[in-house]
Structure formats: structure tokens, C-alpha cells
Structure 1
């Protein structure tokens, strides 16, 4: 199996190489930080699986999910797996939606990672089951959620989004229902846990 890793952390890439390369199932393991020549490298190396981190630091303006989506437009048959320390439901759902073959936490043990990659190479997918189903928030609800978490008042939210205060209230009510919460503090806490907003926002 040939694996190509896209990650901005050199130490992680080296550690993963050491963990996997002694296994006879691994024919080739390579890593890159060069996003500009990534398509050329894929076309040249023909990896069985492309592993992409979500947070690519300063390598590109895109995150790993956006990069995955663009690469699949160019290489629709390429098996791409998101390997990330940000193991959040929103990211897992988005990875599945855009056509990635799997989502794996960086906390995974090397032996388990190898097993998962082999099953994906064979045609399977790997997305951990959600313990609790959360209905997806709309774009409008996400914007309201982010603004509330930033401390913006309802009237100001309405002005910024060019909607009425009543619509803002309706969005908040829908968010409460979808996240199954009963207060603003609980809403923000759960939204952070699920990955809808970053802690840096608050």
C-alpha cells in the first residue's frame, strides 16, 4: 500500500513514517508540505491513500477539508482520508459529505490505523458513529450562533445580517432545539464541543 501524507507538522510525519514503514503491508510512505505541487505528486506517485490533516497551518489558505474537496474534483477516484487532532462531529460529517473515504483521529494507535487504512484500500469507508444525533445547523443559524458567542446583541446581529430581530430569535430557538439545550451558555458550550464554533471566538 502506498500512502501520501499532507501535514504541516514535520515531527508527526516522521513519527508516522517510523510507526508504519516496518510493516510489510506498506510499500511506500511519503509526506509533503508542498501544496502547490501536490497534484503533480499525486499523479506521479499514484498513492493508494492520501492522508490529509484538517489544520494545515500556513501551507495554504484552505483547510484540509477544502483541499480534499478540490482534489476530488481533479482526482475523483483518489481515496482520501482525513487524519486530524480535531476529532469533532461537524468535521466528521463534512468529511463524509465531500467524499472522503474516512476520518481518523490522530490519537489512534498505529496498528489500528494500519487496519483502518487497509480496509479503506479494499473499498470500505471509516467514519466513527455518533453517540448522539445532532440535526445540522443552517448557514443562517451558524452565523447567528457565532455572533452570539462573540457577545453581539440581538439588535446588532439583525443589523449585521440584514434580518429582523424576530428572525434572529427564530434562529436561536431552532438552534436550541437542534442542540437540545435550554440556555445561551449551554448552547455555546455544546457548540464548541461539536465544532460549530472555535474557542477563540469567545
Structure 2
């Protein structure tokens, strides 16, 4: 893996790893059909404090079995693999080990793979051009409740959101839950990729206040992640993309 982009991140509501400090290492399962790539990741992550690779798998079917057995915190998984694809495995793993957070680490920059991965429950979508240092940073960010996605792929998501809104112009939509003006402000900034600290600076409020707003937004919309909230808000025309 060579030098790459800095993955775009979106803070989430989970604070379990940050609150726990360094007491418990982040348990990682590596899934890829190339043994050399798996080994390379293990070597890189073995040098990182607070991260432990607890196992590896060579395909999606084995990934589901290993996830159920090892109960990892984070799963780094390729999209296209034999026997069972990463996206199919993602769906199965979320049913068996819902606490596991799955990050797709792939060469595929196909929009269809990105959309299907998110629908299947992936928390991140990173291209393999990411630098080695950024792999560990992405793991820590996801463990701390953020979503990680390549900026180039994020722009494709925004384009799809806009198209989705246009396609639903003629549909009768169920009225969306009422968000306050401040919650809408926060959600708009989330949609731009800002993290909690950046949103707090932008709105001149505390970081804890931002976290509370995000938590309330997710509860009102009955969603589980900030990424889902942005998709929902754009679909329901709570937000618009210029």
C-alpha cells in the first residue's frame, strides 16, 4: 500500500473505546483472499499500540465463521472474494455479531459496491491505496464511533443521494420526524464530513452539545449511524445538496 488520501471521517455516538482508554485493545479480524496482503496488514498492525489482530480469513464464508468465533471489534474485509463476497458476508456477520464494525478495504471503486456495502451494514469503505499509517488511524476512528470513507467514494455517495432525491420527487413520502432548527444545522454539517469538534467550532457550542444533538437526531429518526441519518435526511428532503 502506497501513500494515499486521508480517509474522510464522520464521528458517531459510540464512546466505548475512548472512554475505556487503552485498557482493552481493539480486536481486529483481517479478511482478504490474498495471503500476502493479509500478512502485510498483520505486520503493520502488530506494531500499533492498542490494536490486536485476533484472526484472519481468506473468503466471506470463512469470515462469518471466524467472526462468530472470535467476536472482533473491527473487521477489515475485501469486497470481492471467492465462495462468498465481502458484501454477502457483511450482511451475515451483522446478524451473527451485530457489535462488530465492518470496514471494506478494497481496490473496487465501483459505485454499486459502495452502495451495497453501506446497505449491508458496513461502517466504512476504504480503497487499498490508503497508506499503512492510515489503516491504524481508520481502525481507531471506527472503534470510536466514526465512519470512514474515501473522499472520492464519498463524492459518489453525495451524487447518488442527489439522484435519489430527484427520483422521489413524484412520490408521496411519509412525513419525517420533526427536527429542531439546531438539529438540522448539525445534520447539514455532518453531511459535509465534519467531525464533532469541527461542528462545535462552526456553531460556537461545546463538543458534548454536538454529541447530544447527534444522539437526539438518531433517536428521532430511529437510525443507528450518522451516515444513515444523512441518507435518510436527503431522501426525505430534510437536507438538500447544492
CA RMSD of aligned residues (A): 2.2
**Structure 1 residue 88: Cα displacement:** 2.4
Q: Distance in 1 between matches of 2:120 and 2:79?
A: 13
Residue matched to 2:133: 111
Deviations 1:42-79 (A, max 9, x none): 233221101111111x3x1x321111112212222221
Residue matched to 2:102: 80
Structure 2: gaps (5+ residues): 1-25, 168-242
Query: Normalized against structure 2, the TM-score is what?
Result: 0.50
Asked if structure 1 preserves the Cα contact closer than 8 Å seen for 2:55 and 2:70, the reply is no
Query: Normalized against structure 1, the TM-score is what?
Result: 0.59
Q: Which has the higher contact order (CA 8 A, sep 6+)?
A: 2
Aligned length: 134
Residue matched to 1:66: 88
The aligned runs of 1:4-153 (5 Å cut-off) are 4-33=29-58, 36-56=61-81, 58=82, 60=83, 62-128=84-150, 129-130=154-155, 133-134=159-160, 135=163
Q: 1:133 to 1:94 in 2, by over 3 A?
A: same
Deviations 1:25-48 (A, max 9, x none): 222353122655544432332211
Deviations 1:69-128 (A, max 9, x none): 122122222211111011222222221122111111111001111111101001111133
Q: Distance in 2 between matches of 1:99 and 1:36?
A: 17
Partner of 1:80, secondary structure, is strand
Which one has the largest radius of gyration? 1
Structure 1: gaps (5+ residues): 139-202
Partner of 2:133, secondary structure, is helix
